[in-house]
Amino acid sequence: MNLLTRRLFLEKISALAAVNFIASAASSALANDTPGPHIAFPSAPSGRIAIASYPFRAYIESPGNRDRNPSLHGMDLLQFPAEVVKKFGVHNIEPYSRHFPSLDSAYLAQFREALAKANTKVVNIAVSLQESFYDAEPATRANAIASAKKWVDVAVGIGSPSIRAHIHTAANSRPNLQRTVDALREVVKYSAGKNVIVTLENDDLVSEDAFFLVNVIESVNHPYLRALPDFANSMLTGDADFNCRALKTMFQHAYNICHVKDGEADDHGKQFNIDLLKSFQILKSSGYRGYCSMEFDAPGDPYAATTKLVEQTIRYL
């Protein structure tokens, strides 16, 4: 390469780098300038408690609930708000998507009435999507995006400020950052227009590894995409240090919802316990001011275990 050709080549590379830098900066500025959500969180610890419906899955009657135990007394999700007030004295709930027997407008109107009657509110919907944001097939990713948008509309319908969008595993692909980012950008663009936050939970060690999720959140760089730190899910590695590091990085991107539990059981029933006090120290050191949703997830009575978690959470907060 002669001197003139080399000089022209370097000038073109420099110009291209400058264009890319400006475009990247503009994109980042646009995301950072987007007005973010604003929730007036309660300051009293008791007001920050929420009860998830997931621990009570054996009791909840719904066609999509594969964990219903017919030997236990049953209840429709419509009864859950009053049950939470009666048993725990808590007025915030987090329903699970599979516990909705219907998403039609009539049922959602009934659910709003049940909330109002019990003087409760939804602080998040834990949504399980059946298709992956990073699937190698574009049509499958499109279905996942459409499903997430549908749940954003449900959140609007029942007054929930956010949804947890589960990132499902894909049989044809390992977790793929770019495809996940592209899909969630589309979801969050839609949800921001509805004033609904999308949260990502460290719920699966493969598709929802805490550090992968933080990479996704930082890449999307939008105030309506946040982390949902779960106290114990990352403990399924068996590594307490990893769980603490996962929790710390997740809380740096959390805003409105986290899941409180003192341990987690794997698919074989093996229990992995955590240091609950240390987990709350991580929460407080991050400056987190949002809701703490009780999500006991182990064999045993969820009522007694949830009561204990509520008492511990109030004490540690």
- The two tokens of residue 291 are 């809701």
Using one digit for the tens of pLDDT, what is the confidence trace for 203-251? 999 999 999 999 999 999 999 999 999 999 999 999 999 999 999 999 9
Query: Global pTM?
Result: 0.89
Q: Which domains does the chain have, with CATH numbers?
A: 44-316 (3.20.20.150)
Which residue type, as a one-letter code, is found at position 215?
N
List, edge to edge, every strand of the sheet that includes 162-165.
Answer: 125-127, 162-165, 197-201, 225-228
H or E stretch covering 282? helix 276-285
Average pLDDT over residues 276-287: 98
The CA angle 234-238-244, to the nearest 5 degrees, is 45
Q: Per mean pLDDT, which range of 39-43, 227-231, 241-245, 262-266 is the poorest? A: 262-266
Cβ within 8 Å of residue 296, ≥6 positions away: 55, 261, 302, 305, 306, 309
pLDDT value at position 33?
A: 67
pLDDT value at position 269?
A: 86
Query: How far, in Å, are 60, 98, 153, 156, 198 from residue 105 at the CA level?
Result: 20, 17, 11, 11, 22
> Phi-psi category of 254—alpha, beta or left, where left has phi over 0 and alpha has psi -120 to 50?
beta
Intra-chain end-to-end CA distance of the chain, in Å: 67
Average pLDDT over residues 46-56: 98
- CA 218 – CA 209 distance, rounded (Å): 14
Q: What is the mean pLDDT of the chain?
A: 91
